[in-house]
Amino acid sequence: MPKAVIVGGGIGGLTAALTFHHFGWRVEVLERSQELGEIGAGIQITPNGMKVFRAMGLEEAIAENAFVPRALEMRFGRSGRQIFEIEAQKAVVERWGAPYLHLHRADLVDTLRRLLLKRQPNAVRLDAECVAYTQTPEKARVLLDSGDTVEGDLVVGADGIHSVIRTQMLGAEHPDFTGNIAWRAVVPMAQLGDLAPPPTACVWVGAHRHAVTYRLRGGTLANFVGIIEREEWTSESWTEEATRDEVLAAFKGWHPIVTNLIEQADVHFRWALFDRAPLSQWVDGRVALLGDSCHPTLPFQAQGAVMAIEDAYLLAKLCSETPNDLDAALTTYFETRLPRTAQVQRASRGNARLFHRPTPLSRALTYGPMWLAGKVAPSIIRSRQDPFFAYDIREEPLR
């Protein structure tokens, strides 16, 4: 049985372990942390991601602690006036073929971990920091900082935006700071009373900034993401704790649902948002990149993790079809995934402009037609999401 060594136990790496196992491989996930986990924040898993889990019989397990939004909604950040609200429950499944879920990241990682360990109890090695890879024509190896090596038929670099596997493959260069920073927080719904965010995936738009609110964990938690344009990121770290006053100042004068969420949060985290121009290469012999290591994406289309989930399925499927010709499998993987992920990266950047219209005139010209479409032809709004959510990696023509 061939073996995949997967560097990184985030959403991408754990999903890859499940997809490789599904297609008959042994797996070993190497995670540098002492335990598998995620930050206290929400994540939206859109129908194209859920189709991957469904293909492996995991849809129900993934949905267990989720919240299914009633609608996709857009509002003005200051007044709270609604621009559109389109139904998202039955209509999502009918149009895009699978549900749209809101999950707590820690719940998602815990579910992926449990599903994986049930299938292969020794699949995860913690406290295993990878520093390099080597390979021969027959095998690939990962070198750990402890001096150990781990060998397999394939190495998958799912080690995130600061990937050491990508750096070795392509040289050291930094992702691009996109001029946006994000704050994130999670608050128990019980604390929010009448100012609870609506049971929707709600984007609140404004000049040079926007916020996203939604509910998590069966509706018991509310999630807040606030994004603002900033010229530069002055800190060494790309993520750090922020003060409540700083977040409140950025959203001063906004609707009380937004400002109350900020006030009620115990902790706010701040992220510098990076992405990267499409890379010329994701593959080196028996080593392949996946997820944020090769295509970090602005979160404005809610697709970063979902792209890693799609990558994981195609990579494992192709490798299992031609285990004796991994070169061909990995080339097809790269050539098929590059245009898809580049399209999502472009759309995410485009949404930054769409959500941050700076002047009353530009807002009227953008949101007026959206308001009208929401009233008379909501399918126009839905159709903007078709290329992302209707996509099914199992049906993608290979390149």
Ligand X SMILES: Cc1cc2nc3c(=O)[nH]c(=O)nc-3n(C[C@H](O)[C@H](O)[C@H](O)COP(=O)(O)OP(=O)(O)OC[C@H]3O[C@@H](n4cnc5c(N)ncnc54)[C@H](O)[C@@H]3O)c2cc1C
Which of these ranges, 9-17, 114-122, 169-177, 323-331, lies near ligand X under the rule CB under 6 A?
A: 9-17
Catalytic residue selected from 100, 214, 313, 367: 214
Residues 31-60 that bind ligand X (CB under 6 A): 31-33, 43-44
Which of these ranges, 7-15, 247-255, 363-371, 388-396, lies near ligand X under the rule CB under 6 A?
A: 7-15
- Residues 226/251, Cβ–Cβ less than 8 Å: yes
Q: Which of 13, 99, 198, 206 binds ligand X (CB under 6 A)?
A: 13
Measured distance CA(201)–CA(45) in Å, rounded: 11
| Cβ neighbours, 10 Å, residue 89 | 13
Class of residue 298 by CB neighbours under 10 A (exposed 0-12, middle 13-18, buried 19+): buried
- Given 3-state DSSP classes, what are the helix, strand and coil percentages for the chain, each rounded to the nearest 5? 40, 25, 30
Residue type, 302: A
**Is 129 an interacting residue with respect to ligand X (CB under 6 A)?**
yes
Token representation of residue 376: 């008379």
Token representation of residue 67: 């919240």
Q: How many residues bind ligand X (CB under 6 A)?
A: 32
Closest approach, Cβ 8 to ligand X, in A, equals: 3
Q: Which of 77, 160, 198, 199 binds ligand X (CB under 6 A)?
A: 160
CB of 158 or CB of 279, closer to ligand X: 158
Closest approach, Cβ 33 to ligand X, in A, equals: 5
| Cβ neighbours, 10 Å, residue 155 | 27
Measured distance CA(345)–CA(323) in Å, rounded: 31
Closest approach, Cβ 155 to ligand X, in A, equals: 11
Give the residue carrying structure tokens 């209509």: 91
**Is 18 an interacting residue with respect to ligand X (CB under 6 A)?**
no
Q: Which of 288, 306, 315, 344 binds ligand X (CB under 6 A)?
A: 306
Closest approach, Cβ 233 to ligand X, in A, equals: 13
Measured distance CA(135)–CA(142) in Å, rounded: 9
Measured distance CA(9)–CA(4) in Å, rounded: 13
**Is 62 an interacting residue with respect to ligand X (CB under 6 A)?**
no
Which of these ranges, 11-19, 119-127, 241-249, 379-387, lies near ligand X under the rule CB under 6 A?
A: 11-19
Give the residue carrying structure tokens 């499927």: 317
Residues 181-200 that bind ligand X (CB under 6 A): 182, 184
**Is 107 an interacting residue with respect to ligand X (CB under 6 A)?**
no
CB of 132 or CB of 248, closer to ligand X: 132
Which of these ranges, 82-90, 172-180, 275-283, 297-305, lies near ligand X under the rule CB under 6 A?
A: 297-305
Measured distance CA(90)–CA(100) in Å, rounded: 10
217 closest CA partner among 89, 104, 100: 104
Q: Which of 203, 308, 315, 373 binds ligand X (CB under 6 A)?
A: 308
Closest approach, Cβ 273 to ligand X, in A, equals: 6
Closest approach, Cβ 375 to ligand X, in A, equals: 27
Residues 6+ positions from 259 with CB-CB distance below 8 Å: 248, 251, 252
Residue type, 388: F
Residues 240-279 that bind ligand X (CB under 6 A): 271
**Is 225 an interacting residue with respect to ligand X (CB under 6 A)?**
yes
214 among known catalytic residues:
yes
Residues 6+ positions from 172 with CB-CB distance below 8 Å: none
- Residues 256/196, Cβ–Cβ less than 8 Å: no
Token representation of residue 275: 């992405």
Which of these ranges, 24-32, 166-174, 253-261, 382-390, lies near ligand X under the rule CB under 6 A?
A: 24-32
Query: Which residues in this chain contact ligand X in the complex, by CB under 6 A?
Result: 7-13, 30-33, 43-44, 129-130, 158-160, 164, 182, 184, 225, 271, 291-292, 299, 302-306, 308
Which residues participate in catalysis according to the annotation? 214
